[in-house]
Amino acid sequence: MKKAQTTNRGFTLLELSVSVLIVSLIILVLIVVFRSNLATFKWGQQHMEFNQKIQLVMKQLFTDFKQINPILRQDEEGHMFLQGEKIGDLFPNLVTIFDKDKDPDNGGEEVAFFLTTFSDMNRRDHIKYFIDKSELIRQKTDHDGNVKRFVVAEKVSDLHFTEDSGDIRQIKIKLTMTDPKKPERSENLDFAVRLETDLVCVKTVREYD
């Protein structure tokens, strides 16, 4: 009786070539998909960072304006009163808009006001917002005259503050923010903040030569 013979046949050159080609195509597809996902992730991350900067700018402005209170005073007899409360006292805590480009139609380019607290009459911080070299600046001068500048955002333009003719306690804010990482991407912000207290109002000062 004859025994069955087994043969060990290896891969042919054609089979190896086809296998290598298939593996190469799979790797190429994976690389393309990975690069596409990575680019999408980077775009989404940069877009999210820019949106976060926009939200931080709006939050900073909202927070400051909402913290504005009437200025607390004390007369010679030690009586406490709010500035603008007495008869004949026409100077409440003002949010002053400075029109520097001499164009009354677009409001003003700077705004200034006092932040006070009822717990400490000596604490009176003078706050000013303006643009310097395309940066939105928040400048604080305390009651001792110390000045501190804080860059709220970079690449800011067309900053305008406008009073509301129908509401002396509302201020309108417009500005354009450009993404520092993507100069072609910009966002126009247009919103309003209403002061939630009496004896505080908004006033525009025209600065003419």
**pLDDT number for residue 42:** 65
User: Per-residue pLDDT for 124 more than 70?
Assistant: yes
Does residue 19 fall inside a structural domain? no
User: Per-residue pLDDT for 209 more than 50?
Assistant: no
Does residue 8 fall inside a structural domain? no
Q: Tell me the CA distances in angstroms from 64 to 37, 159, 174, one per residue in order.
A: 40, 17, 16
Q: Which residue has better confidence, 112 or 122?
A: 112
CA distance 15 to 8: 16
**pLDDT number for residue 136:** 97
**pLDDT number for residue 79:** 73
Nearest to 170 by CA among 131, 200, 135, 137: 200
Split into its structural domains, the chain has a count of 1
User: Per-residue pLDDT for 187 more than 80?
Assistant: yes
Does residue 1 fall inside a structural domain? no
Residues 6+ apart with CB under 8 A from 24: none
CA distance 85 to 198: 10
pTM metric for this prediction:
0.73
User: Per-residue pLDDT for 105 more than 90?
Assistant: no
164 forms bridges with which residues in the sheet?
167
User: Per-residue pLDDT for 111 more than 90?
Assistant: yes
Does residue 101 fall inside a structural domain? yes
Range of the domain at 200: 46-206
**pLDDT number for residue 34:** 73
Q: How does the average pLDDT of the chain come out, rounded?
A: 83
Does residue 18 fall inside a structural domain? no
Query: Helix, strand, coil % (nearest 5) of the chain?
Result: 25, 40, 30
Record the tokens describing residue 125, joined without a space: 């911080």
Does residue 144 fall inside a structural domain? yes
Does residue 51 fall inside a structural domain? yes
Q: Tell me the CA distances in angstroms from 156 to 22, 51, 82, 137, 181, one per residue in order.
A: 53, 14, 36, 10, 13
CA distance 110 to 88: 29
User: Per-residue pLDDT for 97 more than 50?
Assistant: yes
CA distance 127 to 140: 5
Per DSSP bridges, beta strands 93-99 and 200-206 are parallel
User: Per-residue pLDDT for 101 more than 70?
Assistant: yes
Does residue 177 fall inside a structural domain? yes
Residue 68 sits at φ, ψ, to 5 deg, of: -70, 125
